[in-house]
């Protein structure tokens, strides 16, 4: 754990004002910590616990500090990960071998989680052999989560296909995202927690017309990648 002086120096470096850099944890230091926490979407308690420390110093929080919730802890090995990209498999409601080779975590129609063949740490930059190839030119530092659904779906005019996304899958997604954000110290923003369909527009990396996720099979009123992404980001933040 960092000393008060290290925390003060880091806060000052990042443009927050902790008062004199004297190693004394006074009210100005506590206020600067709170401002930093608010800026990063963390609980603003003025205390540098493991998660705030990870956000401050850019390290991975220790596993016991980040309750894994519904994702088994051993599915989330230590790694520096920058973002999470959400997909659908464009396949059936259950994960196939092909699905498992492309993503780190899959969510089946009944909300059951399936672990992918590649371990998340293989996608830490620089990627290592066997990494999960889920997003064209954007696999490095990216965790790939996929909902098992939308086989034979058509974008326009919209047709849900033979395996429409279920409410259960959609409802499980934020829980998985929150567990990953906690584990890897990822702060929820449109650039860090996004769908495959948002990658091109938000990160500027061309994706050849990918539209996962820009429609919800069970709710035709939600239209477009940003609308879908904003929903899962808000739901994830509410869990953090």
Output 183 or 210, the one with its CB closest to Zn ion: 210
User: Could you tell me the smallest distance in angstroms from the CB atom of residue 87 to Zn ion?
Assistant: 3
Output 33 or 138, the one with its CB closest to Zn ion: 138
Output 198 or 212, the one with its CB closest to Zn ion: 212
Alpha-carbon gap, residue 200 to 2, rounded angstroms: 38
Output 63 or 101, the one with its CB closest to Zn ion: 101
C-alpha separations of 201 from 81, 97, 142, 190, 209 in Å: 21, 30, 17, 10, 11
Q: Are strands 105-107 and 113-115 parallel, antiparallel or unpaired?
A: antiparallel
How many CA within 13 A on the CB side of residue 224? 4
User: Could you tell me the smallest distance in angstroms from the CB atom of residue 116 to Zn ion?
Assistant: 13
Q: Identify the helix (H) or strand (E) that includes residue 196.
A: helix 196-198
Tokens of 145: 């989560």
User: Could you tell me the smallest distance in angstroms from the CB atom of residue 92 to Zn ion?
Assistant: 16
User: Could you tell me the smallest distance in angstroms from the CB atom of residue 178 to Zn ion?
Assistant: 21
C-alpha separations of 211 from 87, 150, 155 in Å: 9, 11, 7
Output 55 or 149, the one with its CB closest to Zn ion: 149
User: Could you tell me the smallest distance in angstroms from the CB atom of residue 229 to Zn ion?
Assistant: 13
Pick from 108, 81, 31: which is nearest to 184 by CA?
81
Q: Give contact residues for Zn ion (rule: CB under 5 A).
A: 87, 196, 212
Tokens of 5: 């002086």
User: Could you tell me the smallest distance in angstroms from the CB atom of residue 136 to Zn ion?
Assistant: 9
Output 109 or 198, the one with its CB closest to Zn ion: 198
Alpha-carbon gap, residue 27 to 122, rounded angstroms: 42
Residue 174 near residue 160 (C-beta atoms within 8 A): no
Output 87 or 215, the one with its CB closest to Zn ion: 87
Tokens of 49: 């616990």
User: Could you tell me the smallest distance in angstroms from the CB atom of residue 135 to Zn ion?
Assistant: 6
Pick from 191, 156, 193: which is nearest to 173 by CA?
193
């Amino acid at each position: 754990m960092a000393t008060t002086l290290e925390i003060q120096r880091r806060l000052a470096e990042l443009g927050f004002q902790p008062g004199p850099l004297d190693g004394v944890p006074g009210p100005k230091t506590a206020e600067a910590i709170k401002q930093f926490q608010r800026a990063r979407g963390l609980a603003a308690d003025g205390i540098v616990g493991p998660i705030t420390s990870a956000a401050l110093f850019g390290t991975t929080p220790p596993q016991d500090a980040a309750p894994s919730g519904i994702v088994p802890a051993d599915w989330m090995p230590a790694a520096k990960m920058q973002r999470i990209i959400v997909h659908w498999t464009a396949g059936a409601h259950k994960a196939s071998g092909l699905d498992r080779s492309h993503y780190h975590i899959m969510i089946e129609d009944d909300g059951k989680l399936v672990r992918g063949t590649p371990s998340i740490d293989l996608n830490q930059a620089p990627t290592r052999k066997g990494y999960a190839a889920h997003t064209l030119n954007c696999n490095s530092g990216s965790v790939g989560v996929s909902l098992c659904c939308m086989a034979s779906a058509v974008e326009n005019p919209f047709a849900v296909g033979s395996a429409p996304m279920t409410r259960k899958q959609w409802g499980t997604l934020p829980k998985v995202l929150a567990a990953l954000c906690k584990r890897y110290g990822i702060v929820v923003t449109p650039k860090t927690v996004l769908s495959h369909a948002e990658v091109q527009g938000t990160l500027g990396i061309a994706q050849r017309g990918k539209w996962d996720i820009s429609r919800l099979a069970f709710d035709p009123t939600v239209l477009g990648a940003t609308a879908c992404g904003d929903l899962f980001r808000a739901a994830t933040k509410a869990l953090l």
